Amino acid sequence: MIEEVKSIIKTKVLSLIPSTVFGQDKVNFIIEKFSNFTPEERGLFLQLFNRILTNMIEREASDIELGGYASDGFVWMRLFGKKERVKDLPKFTLDEAAVLIINLLNENQRRYLTVTRSLDFSYTFFLERKGQHQRFRSTVYFDLDNLALNMRAISSTLRAIEQYEFHPNVLKTLSHLYVKFGLALITGITGSGKSSTLDAIIDMHNRIDPAHIVIIASPLEYVHKSNVSIIKHREVGRDVLSFKDGVVQALRQDPDIIVIGEMRDPDTIMASLEVTDTGHKVFSTLHTSSAVESIDRIIAEVHPSEQDRVRNRLADVLTSVVSQKLVPSTSGKIVLAKEVLLVTPSVKAAIKNNNTSEIYMMINQGGQQGMITMEQDLKRLYQTKKISLDSAMAFSNNKPRMQQLLTAV
């Protein structure tokens, strides 16, 4: 099949590319000539691509990379936290990879890609060996003028909220049944499992809370089936134009809970604070590595003239921050380490008075309430022999504090 696909791609498109066309113009040329392929040939391309994705799932890889200058023709996968070439899979030239990537997109997405040079989308195929549909979060972008693709496998099974070992007070704060409104943040760097945690929280409500949940994401990952809750899914770029529009429109859809995939710009941040102010429960994510950094980041994102107002509003609506990391375990896999902040009156006052530097010690001393610093949780994982000493130090945010805790072991 591989040689047949390569032959079709070469004959139908690559052999037609003029020698004077290169870089992004070459990608545009391939997109323009994509109609040369028959539906049967495109189906063959998909069949090959889905075989590669099946191989990825069987290896338990979280991500796959294809195309772009950096790939050097290889398919790359992230296996238990480490990105590696997969040498037993076929290699593809830059142009062959571009064709396979473009084949995943519809006509509107191809047009969007030629203008914006980047596209987020979701992809689904039927995984025959498991008898179920497998979803992926995907990004197409340019790497030195060549198309590149990253796809992240979305787990087809939800991790129960009980597996996160949250303190009962934290679960109550996260639950709409106990706290009817407020902003709860899940933060961490890319690939730290934020989406999985959000899905576990949504599933918790879906089992026990007769609520209306609106999810706004780019792209949508896990698709929830309404159970006790009714759950609406809105993908940015497909069902709604932007996160901000999705948040504003949600107010007219009678929601109880609004899930915002990411607070990625000032407009979305302001809209999120405003919709929380109206009495809704809002969950969202940020690309930050600690609870204190998350608070500072939200305030810093807006214009200086607005920061005092945002600081006061954030203090009034923020209920909790869970900051998490995926740490290599001693078993060769990965384990979740988390920092948890609950917004007590003291934390609220520290935010309003611009004394966020005091919050770390409040978390450190808030164990009875359910709070825990990243360093305390890393120490717990080290003491239970789930992670190594080196990993505990490497993944800590406050290394002097981590050293103190480990010395006291």
Q: State the average pLDDT for the chain.
A: 92
Q: How many CA atoms lie within 13 A of 310 on its CB side?
A: 21
Section 122-144 average pLDDT: 88
| Reported confidence tier of residue 81, pLDDT bands at 50, 70, 90 | confident
Percent of the chain at pLDDT > 90 equals: 71
pLDDT at 409: 58
Decide: residue 342, CB within 10 A, 0-12 exposed, 13-18 middle, 19+ buried.
buried
pLDDT at 127: 85
Please give the distance of CA 113 from its chain centroid, rounded to a whole number.
Answer: 21
What is the tens place of the pLDDT at every residue in 180-211? 999 999 999 888 889 899 999 999 999 999 99
- pLDDT exceeds cutoff 80 at 156: no
What's this model's pTM, rounded to 2 decimal places?
0.79
| Reported confidence tier of residue 220, pLDDT bands at 50, 70, 90 | confident
pLDDT at 238: 79
What is the tens place of the pLDDT at every residue in 288-343? 999 999 999 999 998 899 999 999 999 999 999 999 999 999 988 899 999 999 99
Helix 94-102 with 39-58: angle, nearest 10 deg:
100
pLDDT at 106: 87
- pLDDT exceeds cutoff 90 at 135: no
Section 256-280 average pLDDT: 91
DSSP per-residue letters across 268-324: HHHHHHHHHHTT-EEEEEES-SSHHHHHHHHHHHS-GGGHHHHHHHHHHHEEEEEEE
Tell me the residue ranges of DSSP E strands in 68-131: 76-79, 82-85, 118-127
State both tokens at 254. Answer: 């009678």
Section 377-403 average pLDDT: 94
Of 127, 118, 124, 126, the closest CA to residue 154 belongs to 124
- pLDDT exceeds cutoff 80 at 74: yes
pLDDT at 120: 87
Percent of the chain at pLDDT > 70 equals: 100
Section 91-114 average pLDDT: 92
Q: Domains, the chain, ranges and CATH?
A: 2-154 (3.30.450.90), 161-407 (3.40.50.300)
When mean pLDDT is compared across 136-140, 153-157, 248-252, the lowest value belongs to 153-157
When mean pLDDT is compared across 8-12, 96-100, 187-191, 238-242, the lowest value belongs to 238-242
Of 372, 359, 181, the closest CA to residue 283 belongs to 181
What is the tens place of the pLDDT at every residue in 365-388? 999 999 999 999 999 999 999 999
